Structure 1
Amino acid sequence: MQDIIDELSWRYLIKNKVTGIENQLKKPTTMYIGFDPTSDSLHIGNLLPIIILIHFQRKGHKSLALIGGATGFIGDPSEKEDQRILLSKEILQKNTESIKNQILKLLKFYSEKIELLNNLDWIQNISFIDFIREIGKYFTVNHMISRDSVKKRINNKNGISFTEFSYSLIQGYDFLYLNQAKNCQLQVGGSDQWGNIMSGIELIRKKTGKKAYGITFPLIIKPNGIKFGKSEKGENIWLDGKKTSPYKFYQFWINISDFEVEKYIRIYTFFSKEKIENLICEHRKYPNKRLLQKKLANKITEWVHGNGISKKMIEITNILFEKKSESFQLLDDKTYISIYNHIPHMLISCEEFEKGIFLLDLLKKSGFFYSKSEANRALKANSIYLNKILVKENILIKKENIIGKKYILFRFGKKEFFIIKIE
């Protein structure tokens, strides 16, 4: 067996691991990773467990992907300051189906056949009395409240409900069930799952006498220090193109800093170690070419949205960031339509535009600015471009400003674009 631990380590995909896992992984091992259906879409943080599933499968192990159709009714309290809003059965079913389809699509891209399971299939068959009697007796309250995730909530004024407190027991039971039904000996999860994973390991040891193992991977953190999560506050980068447009998705990767991109190219691609080292070496020689960012953005966008969309995002990006304003005004209608469909946009009627609209009014109407005063501050800071030409005053925008017969392009600062279509 090739060493999966070495593979994951140089890719920065291991945070913690249970002692003895190296010896276990010298032979074929069944492992699982769980996905909670607390939203109808996965996000870029969820790509890590899918990547790890693929790495294990390729190294000769057996990977299982578990969707938490049952645990989704509760929601994991780890790293949460307040109790989750409980989702209805109908929403959870919809979310479960949506996430299942996303996982299958991502695996199909790399031709990986990984078994998908839903813990509702076995959790719904056990009664509350049986669960408390047969599983609950192996968990001490003393041990459970000693965990950081629980201690934080107990010290919080809102406390922690019994519903959320029981989550760890159910996840532990999942590991026990898979250990007995699928000979699963390893659970992998994000670093915030270490306590839950240990619950399953302890439950298996106490109930069966068998040895089980756990590995955690680092969480992907937003610039504000909060992890990417399906129920976290703030903006996420979703895999669903309706929640995060393919253009915005592509721009997230293309704008990653040089410091982060050397880590992300290891984490988010399946390029060989030799290829990645060569790419990093080339990138460091000519950082202004942003070679790593382009490779990363192209590969992940192709994986998530398809080859056709990826090529389209490259084309649109090249057009928008081309400095010459003349070239943008000479595009064909098909290209304008493509740009309009993939970047933030707004439709204005010909009648509304007939007499002309002052720049600040139009900027406020676009929604990019909360108020005219905010737009005016950006104008005075020389941050607003009209059809790639810097604008310094509140001009009246008229028919002469229309390009491609019905479009007006705005740029705010260096990276934000907005296009208006007049019909």
Structure 2
Amino acid sequence: MSIIDDLTWRGAINQQTDPNGLAKLTSEKAIGLYCGVDPTGDSMHIGHLIPFMVLKRFQLAGHRPVVIIGGATGSIGDPSGRNSERTLQTMDVVKENARKLTLQMEKLFLTGQTDGNSFTIVNNYEWLSQLSLLEFLRDYGKHFNVNTMLSKDIVASRLEVGISFTEFTYQILQAIDFHYLFKHHDVQLQVGGADQWGNITAGLDFIRRMEGHEAQAYGLTIPLMLKADGTKFGKSAGGAIWLDPEKTTPYEFYQFWLNQQDEDVVKFLKYFTFLSHEEIEALGQSVQEQPHLRLGQKRLAEEITRFVHGQASLDEAQEITQALFTGDVANLSAKQIKEGFKNMPQFTAPRQNQNLVIWLTEIGLVPSRRQAREFIANGAISLNGEKITDLEFELSPDIAIGGQYIIVRRGKKNYYLVTLSD
């Protein structure tokens, strides 16, 4: 099956500038293709990941992905999807963000690769920063018709509220990028989100103006990713799901995928995993016939967590998940507890010996001593996985995991993290 046929089966294609031409080209030779990300933040989230999954599939099919980190365009701001001007960042912040995004891209595209030529990462600051204002206007601006630029959805959607000349020129800069990569990196395809169609076609028009109408260059956009209920994919109750493990821990990342609805899981297996069609279809059948097993969600969470964070982080996320499911938390490390209990109710207690009934009420975990006694007497309280039924139990700081944490479990599902303080 060709790469284009595979992408079509996976629902990963929204629009193409020349479907027949691209299908023919990719079947005849390995091509260069690119997608860009602007360093407006210090980490990508899973919404950013969507087009880069397409680039990764091309890489696995033998093609050569090029990633642009927009050190120049990121200092200006893409008007796409925004109703107001982006707040400009200092160049120092942009450079630091670019450094962090570069590390994330290298992890996604270089892991497991034996051919160092199969992936290139560049920063458009290298060439765009060399342009003077006169060169920009004379050599590039002359080729762009204002009426055509105004008609692009990405600009037209902003006309009512207003758009600065700075953001208006973004599509020219992106067109320059495409032409630069076409000339210097043999890139013939740009991939982007559905909102990038206007920028992509502007780049294709510019390439043909500069290189002639026979220039083989193509554009492909991916569909807007929606969940079965019609809401936008990529957010959780706690906000964005980041690729940076310091912002979204691998355990949280794993849990996000594990908790997807049955109605969405096959779509996400197609898009976010590199499993074969047969494997995905078998998992889809399991979702239909044995939804309680949640095999599709488990495999989805495993595959995408391994891809983004690596096997060791996947193993740790699964270990935390299993410990919380069974209540056997005593063997978790302090690091695992910090990761797994990040969003659970937190309390602080002094590092001292104290009767459990008094301790539970004084730290505020239960409202009264009477209720604390009832919970203990009914076997509803566990400390670090051990059920406590003795009303006279004397709690010692020595039981703290890593000398710092005590995990309180009330009933079957209510967990609380108590941190000891001096």
> When the two structures are superposed, what TM-score results if normalisation uses the length of structure 1?
0.81
Q: What's the secondary structure of 2:157's corresponding residue? A: helix
**Matches of 2:238 and 2:148, distance apart in 1:** 33
Measure how far apart 1:197 and its partner are.
Answer: 0.4
Matching residue's letter, 2:359: G
- Map 1:277-292 → 2, pairs under 5 A: 277-292=281-296
Q: Comparing 186-195 with 311-320, which one deviates more in the overlay? A: 311-320
Q: What's the secondary structure of 2:204's corresponding residue? A: helix
**Who is 2:350 aligned against?**
350
**Cα distance 1:238–1:400, how it changes in 2: closer, same or farther (>3 A)?**
farther
**Cα distance 1:336–1:69, how it changes in 2: closer, same or farther (>3 A)?**
closer
1:121 matches 2:122? no
Measure how far apart 1:296 and its partner are.
Answer: 1.0
**Cα distance 1:216–1:401, how it changes in 2: closer, same or farther (>3 A)?**
farther
1:49 matches 2:85? no
Measure how far apart 1:402 and its partner are.
Answer: 8.8
Do 1:13 and 1:267's aligned partners in 2 also have CA atoms closer than 8 Å? yes
Q: Deviations over 1:3-31 (max 9, x none)?
A: 21101111111111112322232322221
Do 2:353 and 2:396's aligned partners in 1 also have CA atoms closer than 8 Å? no
Matching residue's letter, 1:115: T
Q: Deviations over 1:140-193 (max 9, x none)?
A: 11111112222221112xx11111111111001101111122222211111111
Q: What's the secondary structure of 1:111's corresponding residue? A: coil
**Who is 1:195 aligned against?**
198
**Matches of 2:282 and 2:163, distance apart in 1:** 50
1:164 matches 2:163? no
- Of residues 71, 86, 89 in structure 2, which corresponds to 1:87? 89
Measure how far apart 1:321 and its partner are.
Answer: 2.4
**Matches of 2:110 and 2:177, distance apart in 1:** 26
Do 1:254 and 1:297's aligned partners in 2 also have CA atoms closer than 8 Å? yes
- Map 1:25-64 → 2, pairs under 5 A: 25-28=26-29, 29-64=31-66
Percent identity (aligned) = 37
**Who is 1:132 aligned against?**
137
Structure 1 stretches (4+) deviating beyond 6 angstroms?
Answer: 397-404, 411-414
Measure how far apart 1:33 and its partner are.
Answer: 1.0
Query: What is the number of equivalent residue pairs in this alignment?
Result: 381
Do 1:145 and 1:151's aligned partners in 2 also have CA atoms closer than 8 Å? yes
Do 1:78 and 1:193's aligned partners in 2 also have CA atoms closer than 8 Å? yes
**Matches of 2:392 and 2:240, distance apart in 1:** 37
Measure how far apart 1:58 and its partner are.
Answer: 2.7
Matching residue's letter, 1:55: R
1:405 matches 2:399? yes
- Map 1:264-283 → 2, pairs under 5 A: 264-283=268-287
Q: Deviations over 1:127-149 (max 9, x none)?
A: 11111111111111111111222
**What RMSD over aligned residues (CA atoms) do the two structures have, in Å?**
3.1
**Cα distance 1:400–1:213, how it changes in 2: closer, same or farther (>3 A)?**
farther
**Who is 2:418 aligned against?**
420
- Of residues 109, 112, 116 in structure 1, which corresponds to 2:111? 109
**Who is 2:261 aligned against?**
257
Matching residue's letter, 2:69: I
Measure how far apart 1:227 and its partner are.
Answer: 6.0
Q: Comparing 25-34 with 7-16, which one deviates more in the overlay? A: 25-34
- Map 1:336-375 → 2, pairs under 5 A: 337-345=334-342, 346=346, 348-350=348-350, 355-356=358-359, 358=361, 361-362=364-365
> When the two structures are superposed, what TM-score results if normalisation uses the length of structure 2?
0.81
**Cα distance 1:119–1:338, how it changes in 2: closer, same or farther (>3 A)?**
closer
**Who is 2:248 aligned against?**
244
Q: Structure 2: any 5+ residue segments left out of the alignment?
A: 368-379, 384-390, 401-405
